[in-house]
Chains A and B, each alone.
Chain A
Amino acid sequence: MQDFIIAENIVKRFAEHTALDGVSIRVPRGKVFGLLGPNGAGKTTLIRIINHITMPDEGTVTFDGHDLRADDMLSIGYLPEERGLYKKMKVGEQAIYLARLKGLSEHEARRRLKIWFEKLGIMGWWNRKLEELSKGMQQKVQFIITILHEPPLLIFDEPFSGFDPVNAEILKKEILELRDKGHTILFSTHNMSSVEEICDDIALINHSKVVLQGPVDEIRERYKNNTYRVTIPAQVSFFEQSVCEVLGEETKGKEKVLTVRKPEGETNSQLLSHLAEQVEILGFEECLPSMNDIFIRVVADNELH
Chain B
Amino acid sequence: MSKIWIIIQREFSVRVKKKSFIILTILMPFLVAALVFVPALLANMKSGEKNTVALIDVTNHYVSVLKDTTDIHFVYETTMKKSFQQDGSPYDAVVFIKGDLTHHPDAATIYSRGEVPHAVEEYVNDKLTEKIRNDKLSAYQFKDIKQVVADAETKFSVKTARWDKNGNTTVSSSDIAGVVGLVFSLFIYMFILSYGGMVMQGIVEEKTNRIVEIMVSSVKPWQLMIGKITGVALVGLFQFVIWILMLTSIVAIAGSVFGVASTGAMPMVGGMSSEIPQVAGLEWLHIIQGMNFVEIIVLFILYFIGGYLLFASIFAAIGASINEQQDAQQFMMPIVLIFIFALYAGMFSIQNPDGPLALWCSFIPFTSPVVMMVRVPFDLPLWQIILSLVVLYGTSALIIWFSSKIYRVGILMYGKKPTFKDMMKWLNYK
Partners in one complex: yes
Using CB atoms and an 8 Å cutoff, list the residues of chain A in contact with chain B.
Answer: 15, 48, 51, 53-57, 70, 73-74, 76, 78, 80, 82-89, 97-98, 100-102, 142, 145
26 contacts between A and B (CB under 8 A): A15-B422, A15-B425, A48-B412, A51-B217, A53-B216, A53-B217, A54-B412, A54-B429, A55-B430, A56-B430, A70-B220, A73-B217, A76-B217, A78-B213, A82-B210, A82-B213, A83-B210, A84-B211, A84-B212, A84-B214, A85-B209, A85-B211, A86-B206, A89-B14, A98-B214, A101-B7
Kindly report which residue of chain A lies nearest to residue B221, judged by CB atoms: A53
Q: B317 CB to closest chain A CB, in angstroms?
A: 17
**Is B73 part of the contact surface with A, judged by Cβ < 8 Å?**
no
**Is B244 part of the contact surface with A, judged by Cβ < 8 Å?**
no
Check B412–A86 contact: CB distance below 8 A: no
Interface of B is mostly: helix
**Is B215 part of the contact surface with A, judged by Cβ < 8 Å?**
yes
Q: A80-B214, A101-B3 are in contact. Are A87 and B219 (CB under 8 A)?
A: no
Check B6–A101 contact: CB distance below 8 A: yes
- Inter-chain CA distance A88–B430, complex, in Å, is 33
Using CB atoms and an 8 Å cutoff, list the residues of chain B in contact with chain A.
Answer: 3, 6-7, 10, 14, 206, 209-220, 412, 422, 425, 429-430
Kindly report which residue of chain B lies nearest to residue A146, judged by CB atoms: B214
Chain B residues lying within 8 Å of A54, measured Cβ to Cβ, are 412, 429-430
Chain A residues lying within 8 Å of B3, measured Cβ to Cβ, are 101
- Inter-chain CA distance A145–B10, complex, in Å, is 17
Chain A residues lying within 8 Å of B429, measured Cβ to Cβ, are 54
Check B6–A97 contact: CB distance below 8 A: yes
- Inter-chain CA distance A84–B214, complex, in Å, is 8
**Additional 7 contacts, C-beta under 8 A, given A78-B214, A101-B6:** A51-B217, A54-B412, A54-B429, A54-B430, A83-B210, A84-B212, A145-B214
- Inter-chain CA distance A86–B218, complex, in Å, is 15
Q: A15-B422, A76-B217, A100-B6 are in contact. Are A53 and B412 (CB under 8 A)?
A: yes
Check A84–B217 contact: CB distance below 8 A: no
Kindly report which residue of chain B lies nearest to residue A47, judged by CB atoms: B217
Q: B96 CB to closest chain A CB, in angstroms?
A: 69
- Inter-chain CA distance A83–B215, complex, in Å, is 12
Chain A residues lying within 8 Å of B217, measured Cβ to Cβ, are 51, 53, 73, 76, 78, 80
Residue among B6, B209, B422, B430 making CB contact with A84, cutoff 8 Å:
B209
Q: B368 CB to closest chain A CB, in angstroms?
A: 36
Q: A22 CB to closest chain B CB, in angstroms?
A: 17
Q: A15-B422, A48-B412, A100-B6 are in contact. Are A86 and B216 (CB under 8 A)?
A: no
Chain A residues lying within 8 Å of B214, measured Cβ to Cβ, are 78, 80, 84-85, 98, 142, 145
Chain A residues lying within 8 Å of B425, measured Cβ to Cβ, are 15
- Inter-chain CA distance A86–B6, complex, in Å, is 15
Kindly report which residue of chain A lies nearest to residue B422, judged by CB atoms: A15
Chain B residues lying within 8 Å of A48, measured Cβ to Cβ, are 412
Chain A residues lying within 8 Å of B210, measured Cβ to Cβ, are 80, 82-84
- Inter-chain CA distance A53–B215, complex, in Å, is 10
Kindly report which residue of chain B lies nearest to residue A157, judged by CB atoms: B213
- Inter-chain CA distance A89–B218, complex, in Å, is 18
Q: A56-B430, A84-B210 are in contact. Are A101 and B219 (CB under 8 A)?
A: yes
Closest 7 CB pairs of A and B: A84-B210, A78-B217, A101-B218, A80-B213, A82-B210, A84-B211, A55-B430
Residue among B14, B211, B218, B430 making CB contact with A102, cutoff 8 Å:
B218
Residue among A51, A84, A97 making CB contact with B10, cutoff 8 Å:
A97
Q: B194 CB to closest chain A CB, in angstroms?
A: 19
- Inter-chain CA distance A54–B216, complex, in Å, is 10
- Inter-chain CA distance A80–B414, complex, in Å, is 14
Chain B residues lying within 8 Å of A57, measured Cβ to Cβ, are 430
- Inter-chain CA distance A48–B217, complex, in Å, is 8
Residue among B7, B209, B216, B220 making CB contact with A87, cutoff 8 Å:
B209
Q: A101-B6, A101-B219 are in contact. Are A86 and B209 (CB under 8 A)?
A: yes
Q: B8 CB to closest chain A CB, in angstroms?
A: 12
Q: B72 CB to closest chain A CB, in angstroms?
A: 60
Chain B residues lying within 8 Å of A73, measured Cβ to Cβ, are 217-219
Chain B residues lying within 8 Å of A82, measured Cβ to Cβ, are 210, 213
Chain B residues lying within 8 Å of A80, measured Cβ to Cβ, are 210, 213-214, 217
- Inter-chain CA distance A41–B215, complex, in Å, is 24
Q: B184 CB to closest chain A CB, in angstroms?
A: 33
- Inter-chain CA distance A87–B3, complex, in Å, is 21
Kindly report which residue of chain A lies nearest to residue B13, judged by CB atoms: A93
- Inter-chain CA distance A101–B14, complex, in Å, is 16
Check A84–B218 contact: CB distance below 8 A: no
- Inter-chain CA distance A114–B160, complex, in Å, is 71
Residue among A15, A56, A101 making CB contact with B215, cutoff 8 Å:
A101
Kindly report which residue of chain A lies nearest to residue B426, judged by CB atoms: A15
Chain B residues lying within 8 Å of A86, measured Cβ to Cβ, are 14, 206, 209, 211
- Inter-chain CA distance A73–B217, complex, in Å, is 6
Kindly report which residue of chain B lies nearest to residue A57, judged by CB atoms: B430
Q: A48 CB to closest chain B CB, in angstroms?
A: 7
Chain B residues lying within 8 Å of A87, measured Cβ to Cβ, are 209
Kindly report which residue of chain B lies nearest to residue A45, judged by CB atoms: B412
Kindly report which residue of chain A lies nearest to residue B217, judged by CB atoms: A78
- Inter-chain CA distance A54–B213, complex, in Å, is 11
Q: B425 CB to closest chain A CB, in angstroms?
A: 6
- Inter-chain CA distance A83–B429, complex, in Å, is 25
Chain B residues lying within 8 Å of A142, measured Cβ to Cβ, are 214
- Inter-chain CA distance A98–B6, complex, in Å, is 10
Q: A161 CB to closest chain B CB, in angstroms?
A: 13
- Inter-chain CA distance A51–B10, complex, in Å, is 24
Chain A residues lying within 8 Å of B219, measured Cβ to Cβ, are 73, 101
- Inter-chain CA distance A55–B428, complex, in Å, is 12
